[in-house]
A and B are shown apart, each in its own frame.
Chain A
Amino acid sequence: MSMDFSRYTVDGVIANTSTGFQPLNKNYFRIASMYNVWGEFNRPIPTDFAYSANQRYFAGRYITSISPKQLVKFDASDSLYNVEFTPYVTSSPLVYTSFGRTQYARTSFVFNGYDSPVRKMAEPTSMYDETCRTSYINFQSELEPRRIRVIIPWAVTIEKMAGTGNTLSRAYINQSTWNAADAQQWITTVSLTNILRQVSWAYYTKEQFATDTARQSDYAYSGSGGSGTTAFFTVFRTADDGHFFTGLSSAISQHSVTNGASFSFNKNTLELTKSAYDCFNTTTTSSTGGRAWVDATMYGQFPRFRLKYQDFVNHYNLIGSDTAYMKSLYYINNKWWHIVGTKFVDENGVEMPTDDVNLEMGAFRVVCTTDNTSTFACNVIPICHVSNVFQVVASAGVPFMMQASSFSWYEKGLFEEYAGDSVWYQAPVNKDGRVIEDYKPLSKDPKNFQGIIDPAIIVIAPAGEEPIDSTPLKVPPAYYIGAGTQVYALTQGQLESTMVNLFSLPTSIIETIDKFNNSLGESIKSILVYPFDISQLFKTAKGNMVFHGEQIISNIYHVLQSTTIFEMGTYTVPSTNTFLDYSPYCNYYLYLPYCGVIRLDSRDVVGKAISVKYVIDILTGSCTANIFREGVLIRSEPGTIGVHIPITSRDFTEMANTLLSAGVESANALMTAGMNMASMTTSSSASKTRGNVGGIAGSISSVLEVANNLDRLADSSVQQRGNPTTSGAFVLPQYPFIIRIKAKESTYKGYAHEKGVACLKTDNFHNFHGYTVFQNFDTSGIPLLEEELMELKRIMESGVYI
Chain B
Amino acid sequence: MDIYLYTNYSDPLYVHKDIRQVGAKRQASLFEPADIHTPVLKLRWTEDMVNVNYVYIPEFHRYYFTKAPEMNPAHTVMLRCFTDVLMTSLPYMDRDVTAIRNEFEPTSMIVDRERIFTSDSEVETFRFFNEFDSQSIGFLEFPCYALSLIG
- Residues 727-744 of chain A: 1 if any B CB is under 8 Å from the residue's CB, otherwise 0? 001110111111111111
Q: A125-B140, A535-B143, A557-B143 are in contact. Are A579 and B128 (CB under 8 A)?
A: no
Tell me if A63 counts as interface (CB < 8 A to partner B): no
Tell me if A765 counts as interface (CB < 8 A to partner B): yes
Check A785–B36 contact: CB distance below 8 A. yes
> 8 Å CB contacts to B: which residues of A176-226?
194
Q: A125-B139, A618-B146, A742-B124 are in contact. Are A760 and B98 (CB under 8 A)?
A: yes
**B residues in contact with A752, CB < 8 Å:** 103-104
Check A778–B97 contact: CB distance below 8 A. yes
Check A776–B98 contact: CB distance below 8 A. yes
Bound-complex Cα distance A740 to B35 (A) = 61
Check B37–A742 contact: CB distance below 8 A. no
Bound-complex Cα distance A556 to B141 (A) = 11
Minimum CB–CB distance from A46 to chain B (whole Å) comes to 40
> 8 Å CB contacts to B: which residues of A770-802?
770-779, 781-785, 787-789, 791-792, 795-796, 799-802
Minimum CB–CB distance from B65 to chain A (whole Å) comes to 12
In-complex Cβ contact of A742 among B36, B123, B141 (8 A): B123
Tell me if A523 counts as interface (CB < 8 A to partner B): yes
Q: Which residue of B lies closest to A552 (CB)?
A: B149
Check B96–A764 contact: CB distance below 8 A. yes
Q: Which residue of A lies closest to B95 (CB)?
A: A765
**A residues in contact with B37, CB < 8 Å:** 785, 787-788
**A residues in contact with B49, CB < 8 Å:** none
Q: Which residue of B lies closest to A522 (CB)?
A: B150
Bound-complex Cα distance A318 to B138 (A) = 33
> 8 Å CB contacts to A: which residues of B58-103?
61, 83, 85-86, 88-89, 92-103
In-complex Cβ contact of A734 among B107, B117, B132, B146 (8 A): B132
Check A759–B99 contact: CB distance below 8 A. yes
Check A533–B129 contact: CB distance below 8 A. no
Check B151–A498 contact: CB distance below 8 A. no
Check B108–A782 contact: CB distance below 8 A. no
Bound-complex Cα distance A784 to B2 (A) = 20
Minimum CB–CB distance from A702 to chain B (whole Å) comes to 14
In this complex, the member of B37, B108, B116 whose beta carbon has the largest number of chain A beta carbons within 10 angstroms is B108
Bound-complex Cα distance A145 to B131 (A) = 16
**A residues in contact with B131, CB < 8 Å:** 2, 568, 593, 733-735
Tell me if A423 counts as interface (CB < 8 A to partner B): no
Q: A579-B112, A759-B110, A769-B104 are in contact. Are A784 and B88 (CB under 8 A)?
A: yes
Q: A547-B151, A579-B109, A752-B103 are in contact. Are A763 and B97 (CB under 8 A)?
A: yes
Check A569–B117 contact: CB distance below 8 A. no
**B residues in contact with A571, CB < 8 Å:** 126-129
**A residues in contact with B11, CB < 8 Å:** 801
Q: A735-B128, A778-B97 are in contact. Are A761 and B102 (CB under 8 A)?
A: yes
**B residues in contact with A770, CB < 8 Å:** 102-104
Check B98–A761 contact: CB distance below 8 A. yes
Bound-complex Cα distance A531 to B101 (A) = 54
Tell me if A757 counts as interface (CB < 8 A to partner B): yes
Bound-complex Cα distance A723 to B114 (A) = 45
**A residues in contact with B128, CB < 8 Å:** 568-571, 612, 735-737
Minimum CB–CB distance from B39 to chain A (whole Å) comes to 12
Tell me if B21 counts as interface (CB < 8 A to partner A): no
Q: Which residue of A lies closest to B35 (CB)?
A: A785
Check A495–B100 contact: CB distance below 8 A. no
Bound-complex Cα distance A708 to B117 (A) = 47
Binds B, one of A10-18, A88-96, A486-494: A486-494
Check A775–B126 contact: CB distance below 8 A. no
Check B138–A492 contact: CB distance below 8 A. yes
Tell me if B32 counts as interface (CB < 8 A to partner A): no
**A residues in contact with B97, CB < 8 Å:** 762-765, 768, 774, 777-778, 796
Minimum CB–CB distance from B76 to chain A (whole Å) comes to 28
**B residues in contact with A784, CB < 8 Å:** 83, 85, 88-89
Tell me if B120 counts as interface (CB < 8 A to partner A): yes
**B residues in contact with A480, CB < 8 Å:** none
Tell me if B30 counts as interface (CB < 8 A to partner A): no
Tell me if B105 counts as interface (CB < 8 A to partner A): yes
**What bracket does the count of chain A residues touching chain B fall in?**
35 or more
**B residues in contact with A488, CB < 8 Å:** 146-147, 149
Q: A765-B95, A801-B13 are in contact. Are A567 and B130 (CB under 8 A)?
A: yes
Tell me if B134 counts as interface (CB < 8 A to partner A): yes
Tell me if A527 counts as interface (CB < 8 A to partner B): yes
Bound-complex Cα distance A593 to B111 (A) = 34
Tell me if A485 counts as interface (CB < 8 A to partner B): yes
Q: Which residue of B lies closest to A729 (CB)?
A: B134
Bound-complex Cα distance A498 to B146 (A) = 12
Q: A2-B130, A743-B117 are in contact. Are A524 and B146 (CB under 8 A)?
A: no
Question: Chain A contact residues: over half helix, strand or loop, or mixed?
Answer: mixed
Minimum CB–CB distance from B103 to chain A (whole Å) comes to 3
> 8 Å CB contacts to B: which residues of A543-594?
545, 547-548, 556-557, 559, 566-571, 573-574, 576-580, 585, 591, 593-594
**B residues in contact with A738, CB < 8 Å:** 125-127
Check B106–A758 contact: CB distance below 8 A. yes
Tell me if B16 counts as interface (CB < 8 A to partner A): yes
Minimum CB–CB distance from A733 to chain B (whole Å) comes to 8
In-complex Cβ contact of B13 among A548, A593, A789, A795 (8 A): A795
Check B151–A523 contact: CB distance below 8 A. yes
Check B142–A759 contact: CB distance below 8 A. no
Q: A1-B136, A579-B112 are in contact. Are A763 and B148 (CB under 8 A)?
A: no
Tell me if A6 counts as interface (CB < 8 A to partner B): yes
Q: Which residue of A lies closest to B124 (CB)?
A: A740
Q: A523-B151, A758-B110, A759-B105 are in contact. Are A645 and B125 (CB under 8 A)?
A: no
Bound-complex Cα distance A791 to B12 (A) = 13
Check B143–A494 contact: CB distance below 8 A. yes
Check B103–A756 contact: CB distance below 8 A. yes
In this complex, the member of B93, B102, B106, B109 whose beta carbon has the largest number of chain A beta carbons within 10 angstroms is B102
Check A489–B143 contact: CB distance below 8 A. yes
Minimum CB–CB distance from A390 to chain B (whole Å) comes to 15
Q: Which residue of A lies closest to B147 (CB)?
A: A488
**A residues in contact with B151, CB < 8 Å:** 484, 513, 516-517, 523, 547-548
> 8 Å CB contacts to B: which residues of A494-534?
494-495, 498, 513, 516-517, 522-534
Check A487–B148 contact: CB distance below 8 A. yes
Tell me if A130 counts as interface (CB < 8 A to partner B): no
Check B107–A759 contact: CB distance below 8 A. yes
Bound-complex Cα distance A740 to B15 (A) = 42
- Residues 3-24 of chain A: 1 if any B CB is under 8 Å from the residue's CB, otherwise 0? 1101000000000000000000
Q: A569-B128, A744-B121, A758-B101 are in contact. Are A531 and B150 (CB under 8 A)?
A: no
In-complex Cβ contact of B120 among A579, A744, A765 (8 A): A744
Tell me if A419 counts as interface (CB < 8 A to partner B): yes
**B residues in contact with A594, CB < 8 Å:** 132
* A-B contacts besides A516-B151, A768-B99, 4 pairs, CB < 8 Å: A485-B148, A585-B117, A772-B102, A800-B15
Which B residues form the contact surface with A (CB < 8 A)? 10-11, 13-16, 35-37, 61, 83, 85-86, 88-89, 92-112, 114-118, 120-134, 136-151
In the A-B complex, the 8 residue pairs with the smallest Cβ-Cβ separation, listed nearest first, are A770-B103, A756-B101, A735-B131, A531-B134, A758-B112, A525-B148, A569-B129, A489-B143
| A–B pairs, 29, beta carbons within 8 Å | A3-B130, A6-B129, A144-B129, A488-B146, A492-B137, A492-B140, A492-B145, A494-B143, A494-B145, A532-B136, A535-B143, A568-B128, A568-B129, A577-B108, A591-B125, A740-B126, A756-B114, A758-B100, A758-B112, A758-B114, A759-B101, A760-B100, A761-B98, A768-B102, A774-B99, A782-B92, A784-B83, A788-B88, A801-B13
Which A residues form the contact surface with B (CB < 8 A)? 1-4, 6, 118, 123, 125-126, 129, 144-146, 194, 419, 484-495, 498, 513, 516-517, 522-535, 545, 547-548, 556-557, 559, 566-571, 573-574, 576-580, 585, 591, 593-594, 612, 618-619, 621, 641-642, 645, 704, 708, 710, 729-731, 733-746, 748, 751-753, 755-766, 768-779, 781-785, 787-789, 791-792, 795-796, 799-802
